[in-house]
Amino acid sequence: MIDFHCHLDLYAKPAEVIAEVARRGTYVLAVTTTPKAFEGNLRYVSEVARIRVAVGLHPELVKERHHEVGLVCATLARTRYVGEVGLDGSPDHRPSMELQREVLRRILGACASQGGRIVSLHSRMAASQVLDEIEIAGAAAMGTPVLHWFSGSLKELGRAAGLGCWFSVGPAMLASRNGRTLASLMPRDRVLPETDGPFGQADGNPLSPWDAENVVPALAELWGEPKQAVATVMTSNLRRLVS
């Protein structure tokens, strides 16, 4: 199974979660919310073959930590994966939008100048603005944008698909009617499972990386395909993305 957006370092007991990930052989993209956390994550997961660590600067933290953008860019040389980055236009974070935009523009520009990265993007209440930044950096030049927990409009979904974006979808997203509608219309060869754990929850409990497997039956129902076929598509999507 695959969890393409998980905050492994933010669980109450990361070592236990990582040990279980190793036991199950789950592929995990461990996103980070600050570039300083990248080092700690590398240490945590150095023994686990199927965990990849992304360097990030979460848009909700940009107001306090925008000066760490240089460290994000400097760390790009050490990983193919970037995240969590993006923009958050919700009321609490709208005041820092200009700063968020500057930070994201610099990171995506650095990705482009280093030959492209796989980038896990947050776009809550800012889908159009994130797509604008992808266009400015050059969708092909910046690498591969993966919109995590996308919650834009159908029109924005169409624009994102046209730009070549990928999508990571999780059980929490698929619990909402809007999330299911969006997932039903996504290009199936550019979708991956995620949990966004421990922020992503089910019934009030944090999702664990292996709970990403619940995405398969949900997508099978939405897409009208057998579960096994969806599971196969997810695996081949990951292989194509990272190869």
Identify which of residues 63 and 227 has a Cβ nearer to Mn ion in the complex: 63
C-alpha–C-alpha distance, residues 95 and 17, integer Å: 35
Contact 143, 116 (CB under 8 A): yes
Q: How far is the CB of 60 from Mn ion (least distance, A)?
A: 10
Partners of 201 in the beta sheet? 206
Burial 34-69 (b: 16+ CB within 10 A, else e): bbebbeebbebbeebeebbbbbbbbbbbbeebbebb
Residues 74-93 within binding reach of Mn ion (CB under 5 A): 84
Q: Which two tokens stand for residue 114?
A: 């280093």
Partners of 191 in the beta sheet? 167
Q: Tell me, by CB under 5 A, how many residues bind Mn ion.
A: 2
| Selected binder of Mn ion within 3, 88, 156, 196 (CB under 5 A) | 196
Stretch that binds Mn ion, among 105-113, 183-191, 192-200, 202-210 (CB under 5 A): 192-200
Residue from 69, 103, 58, 68 nearest 199 by CA: 58
Taking residues 90 to 129 in sequence order and writing x for each that binds Mn ion by CB under 5 A, - otherwise, the string is: ----------------------------------------
Give the nearest residue (CB) to Mn ion: 196
Identify which of residues 33 and 96 has a Cβ nearer to Mn ion in the complex: 33
Q: How far is the CB of 228 from Mn ion (least distance, A)?
A: 29
Identify which of residues 196 and 213 has a Cβ nearer to Mn ion in the complex: 196
Q: Does 211 bind Mn ion (CB under 5 A)?
A: no
**Cα dihedral 46, 117, 4, 221 in deg (nearest 10):** -160
Coil, helix or strand at residue 90? coil
Identify which of residues 126 and 233 has a Cβ nearer to Mn ion in the complex: 126
Partners of 192 in the beta sheet? 168
Identify which of residues 52 and 231 has a Cβ nearer to Mn ion in the complex: 52
Q: How far is the CB of 148 from Mn ion (least distance, A)?
A: 6
Q: How far is the CB of 199 from Mn ion (least distance, A)?
A: 6
| Binding stretches for Mn ion (CB under 5 A) | 84, 196
